Chains A and B, each alone.
Chain A
Amino acid sequence: MTSAEASARPSSEVLGVPPAARTLRDRSFILLLGVLTSIALIVLAVLLIDTAIDGIPQLSISFLTSFPSAFPAKAGIESAITGTLWLMAVVAFVIVPLGVASALYLEEFADGTRWWNRTIEVNIQNLAAVPSIVYGILGLAYIVRGPLSLGRTVLAGGLTLALVVLPVVIITGREALRAVPPSIKEGALALGATRWQAIWRQILPASIPGIATGVILSISRAIGETAPLILVGAATFVAFNPTGLDSPFTALPLQIFSWISQPNDEFRMLAAAAIIVLLVILVILNAVAIRLRNRYQQRW
Chain B
Amino acid sequence: MSDDELTPASTLREVSDSDSSSSEPRDEPGLPAVPGEVPAVPAGQPHAPVPVVAHADVIDDAIDNPVFITEKLSVSYGTAPAVLDVSLRVPEKQITAFIGPSGCGKSTIIRCFNRMNDLIPGAHVEGTVRYHGVDLYGSDIDSVQVRKRIGMVFQKPNPFPKSIYDNIAFGPKVLGMKGSMDQIVEEALRRASLWDDVKDRLKDNAFGMSGGQQQRLCIARALATNPDVLLMDEPCSALDPISTGRIEDLMHELKETVSIVIVTHNMQQAARVSDRTAFFIVDMGSSEEARIGRLVEYGPTDRIFTNPHDIRTEEYVSGKFG
Contact = CB atoms under 8 A, between A and B. Distances in A.
A184 B162 CA distance: 11
B119 A186 contact: yes
Interface in B165-221: 170-171, 174-175, 207, 218, 221
B161 A191 contact: no
Pick the most buried of A181, A185, A191, A206: most chain B CB atoms within 10 A of its CB.
A191
B151 A191 contact: yes
A194 B147 CA distance: 10
Interface stretch (B152-160, B249-257, B269-277): B152-160
- The SS class assigned to the A binding surface is helix
Contacts of B295: none
A192 B148 contact: yes
B1 interface: no
A189 interface: yes
A191 B171 contact: yes
A198 to B, nearest CB: 8
Contacts of B264: none
A181 B158 contact: yes
Contact of A184 (B119, B147, B158, B225): B158
Contacts of A190: 114, 116, 147, 151-152, 154, 222
B15 interface: no
B156 A183 contact: yes
Contact of A187 (B121, B148, B154, B207): B154
Nearest to B218: A187
Contacts of B290: none
A290 interface: no
A197 interface: yes
Nearest to A111: B121
A212 to B, nearest CB: 15
Given A192-B174, A193-B170, A201-B174, A187 B158 contact: yes
A193 B174 CA distance: 6
Interface string A189-225: 1111110010001100110000000000000000000
B151 A197 contact: no
Interface string B129-168: 0000000000000001101100110101011111000000
A188 interface: yes
Contacts of B152: 190
Nearest to A183: B158
A262 interface: no
A201 B170 contact: yes
A5 to B, nearest CB: 40
Interface residues of B, number: 26
Contacts of B156: 183
Contacts of A205: 162
A296 to B, nearest CB: 10
B222 to A, nearest CB: 7
A114 to B, nearest CB: 12
A298 interface: yes
Contacts of B148: 192
Nearest to B173: A201
Interface in B215-273: 218, 221-222, 225
Contacts of B218: 187
Contacts of A299: 207
B174 A298 contact: no
Contacts of B161: 184, 206, 298
Pick the most buried of A184, A189, A190, A192: most chain B CB atoms within 10 A of its CB.
A190
Contacts of B162: 205
A190 B225 CA distance: 11
Contacts of A189: 116, 119, 144, 147
Contacts of A193: 144, 170-171, 174
B154 A188 contact: no
Nearest to A197: B174
Given A193-B170, A194-B144, A188 B160 contact: yes
A192 B147 contact: yes
A221 B102 CA distance: 50
Contacts of B170: 188, 191, 193, 201-202
Nearest to A185: B119
A278 B157 CA distance: 47
B158 A191 contact: no
A191 B116 contact: no
Nearest to A180: B161
B175 A186 contact: no
Pick the most buried of B121, B144, B225: most chain A CB atoms within 10 A of its CB.
B144
Pick the most buried of B151, B170, B207, B221: most chain A CB atoms within 10 A of its CB.
B170
Contact of B158 (A113, A186, A197, A201): A186
B291 to A, nearest CB: 23
A185 B116 CA distance: 11
Nearest to A299: B207
Contact of A186 (B116, B151, B171): B116
A190 B221 CA distance: 10
A113 B122 CA distance: 11
10 contacts: A186-B116, A187-B158, A189-B119, A190-B116, A190-B147, A190-B222, A191-B147, A193-B170, A205-B162, A206-B160
Interface of A: 113, 181, 183-194, 197, 201-202, 205-206, 298-299
Please list the 8 inter-chain residue pairs (A to B) with the smallest Cβ-Cβ separation, ordered nearest first. A192-B148, A183-B158, A191-B171, A190-B152, A193-B174, A187-B158, A192-B147, A197-B174
Given A181-B158, A183-B158, A189-B119, 8 more contacts: A186-B158, A187-B154, A190-B147, A191-B225, A192-B145, A202-B160, A298-B161, A298-B207
